[in-house]
A and B are shown apart, each in its own frame.
Chain A
């Protein structure tokens, strides 16, 4: 009995982690370069909707995932022009972009997707780990995006913390003025970070469609992008920690599926389990008080000369 509960919990918990993990990795990149991308929820929605659309029409899963990522890149280009080039307020722009995305994907659903279902990803049997008893039953449940997201976490950790580009990007997020004086192109660093971050968010949205029912409905992401904003704070912008924190979120969401298996939880209303991931996010953000945003997050940056000209 306990074993069934634990296998279900971790099996679905890890699967639910993937979209949030991808989005949070993207958010970590863009925040480290000094751009708070609240529009991540909207990018996930766009990625999910276009992925479902392509999946429904072609039946080709890899192509649909690529389309979701490409949509993320397109959203990233638009957002980086707003956040970086035009220097609009990041929080407000991001929020409005989310409303925009909700609306456009709503129109798409009503007129183009219309409840059609795309094919989804099937679980992938892992070569070596997939033979270990117990672990096998959890890991062989996961599709290949799970493994890709873990690899991406390591790659992004390496890029942000061990390469020159990562150092420059973090400098642009902490002291853009000093970075610029030292000869770095702050705008270019931020463009790249925002576009890369949104590509991951788009893939996260696509992963959400392809790992669940293959069907897109309005407001499909139900705040996962916002949860990713919290995950990044709790993980202190460390891509490897992001894996753990996103995993915690996945488990808190998976509790809903196992609550029915445990008699003790019978009197707890369903709504509690649905609300739990959001509650966990608030609690996790609340206990990570010492976590500090990169100093220049949220502030558009302009060359001092451009500032003087107005």
Chain B
């Protein structure tokens, strides 16, 4: 969160929106930039406002705000096994956060992180079951990761292609593709490889396809390194490559970028495909790392949508996505045991995250600037 974007040094902090469904920024040029230095007062104000709203909700549902707060902290960081869960969830949220942050930088609204994660998970579970059991461990895991990333990239590039070549608004298409990916996953777990002993989940993948443990007692595996490496790669992509420069220039001023020779269509499709690959990796983590199967209740975790909140908290900076994902993961995992400890449903985690980011916008800690008409 400390990654500033002052003084023009900041890469990847420009977002803008072209809500016109027509062409890459030709009409309805609604550009916006994420602007302003971070004022600590705004952040403190957002935290206080969030706490106030949360306290009201907790009391309304008959809970005790203090118990809720204590439960969230102790059940996300307090024990080795909870900490492990928090770290693994942070890995997923980092990847879905990057799936939002990269296209947002080019003022493209990828709301499809959820579907890209499912596409990756479908490919991962298919490979993990179909490939011969004797494939060597390292190779199998690498194939799983590469396959999930490619699956997510292909799925993710669909709204990019529709946007680039037909001028179709990417918000609606990327949202709809989430549902299509979910039903594809539904097909996999109910028809293709159903688990006989449990409903709505697939068979387990082969042992050799499972991600090796890295901190076994906390059930943390190499997914963490997948997330770290992807965040570093995304940061290098945005700040150190010509594609990243094009992405940022489109975000800053699409028209100027096009006049300067940036190939808008290619960049649109590439940023969606890159985002899709990150989302697909989130799917690989859930299948290869955490569950070793594909369960449909992944859908109610809303990792794709929470990823958008992560990207905003990180102010679209790929490296800042890591701490942002960890913070939100703490709130998510800590809320899992609220039902038993404080009598509040675990959905509280999402409420908390959404309220906090809304408050960051209300106080102006996250601020967008728009081109006026």
Contacts and interface: CB of A to CB of B under 8 A. Distances in A.
**Bound pair (A, B):** yes
Contact of B186 (A99, A233, A274): A274
A173 B316 CA distance: 29
Nearest to A280: B176
Interface stretch (A55-63, A65-73, A189-197, A283-291): A283-291
Instruction: Determine which residue in B166, B339, B362 has the highest number of CB atoms from chain A within 10 A of its CB, and name it.
Output: B362
Given A107-B351, A289-B167, A298-B17, A99 B305 contact: yes
B176 A103 contact: no
B183 interface: yes
Interface in A74-123: 82, 86, 88-89, 91-93, 95-100, 102-104, 106-107, 109-111
Interface in B323-363: 339, 343-345, 347-355, 357-358, 361-362
13 contacts: A82-B362, A93-B361, A100-B351, A102-B347, A102-B350, A107-B57, A223-B175, A229-B175, A278-B180, A285-B172, A292-B21, A292-B22, A295-B20
Interface string A272-286: 101100110110011
A218 B171 CA distance: 23
B173 A285 contact: yes
Interface residues of A, number: 59
B21 A291 contact: yes
A127 interface: no
Nearest to B191: A269
Interface string B186-197: 110011000000
A140 to B, nearest CB: 32
A36 interface: yes
Nearest to B171: A91
A99 B309 contact: yes
A226 interface: yes
A99 B350 contact: yes
B345 A100 contact: no
Contacts of A111: 61-62, 343-345
A176 interface: yes
A95 B368 contact: no
Nearest to A110: B345
Interface in B6-61: 17, 19-22, 27-28, 30, 32, 57, 61
B48 to A, nearest CB: 17
B119 interface: no
Interface in B281-326: 299-300, 302, 305-306, 308-309, 312
Contacts of A102: 302, 347, 350
Contacts of A88: 358, 361-362
A95 B350 contact: no
A299 interface: yes
Contacts of B372: 177, 299, 304, 307
The 8 closest A-B pairs by CB, nearest first: A106-B347, A103-B351, A103-B350, A110-B345, A275-B183, A100-B354, A298-B19, A99-B354
B168 interface: yes
B373 A176 contact: yes
Contacts of A230: 172, 176
A209 interface: no
B176 A278 contact: yes
A219 interface: yes
Given A97-B354, A226-B176, A299-B373, A106 B19 contact: no
Contact of B28 (A82, A100, A104, A292): A292
Contacts of B62: 111
B162 interface: yes
B177 interface: yes
A251 interface: no
B111 A271 contact: no
A293 B373 contact: no
A297 interface: yes
Given A111-B61, A289-B167, A82 B358 contact: yes
